[in-house]
Amino acid sequence: MLVLTRKTNQSIMIGDDIEVSVLAIMGEKVRIGIEAPRSVPVFRKEVYLEIRQDTAKPEEERKAVDQALDKLKEGQ
């Protein structure tokens, strides 16, 4: 992990296309802005994890169905 110190109105670049700016610092809270191409999804981590969990469920369900079908085939 790269750890950087930035002040209000300072930025960091990620590659050539993503800029992360410190907009404000209020006590323990830091307000940041992220400029990225529309093709790059940007989420808060808790939202990202929820999305991943929701997309994983159909795959898990599909595996369970496949396993049940395999058991049925073995029984014939």
Q: Read off the pLDDT of residues 9-51 as tens digits, 9 standing for 90 and up.
A: 999 999 999 999 999 999 999 999 999 999 999 999 999 988 8
Q: How confident is residue 76, by pLDDT bands cut at 50, 70 and 90?
A: low
Cα 24 from Cα 18, distance rounded (Å): 19
DSSP of 38-72: TTS----HHHHHHHHHHHHHHHHHHHHHHHHHHHH
Task: Using a cut of 0.85, tell me whether the model's pTM lies above it.
Answer: no
* Domain boundaries along the sequence of the chain: 1-41, 43-76
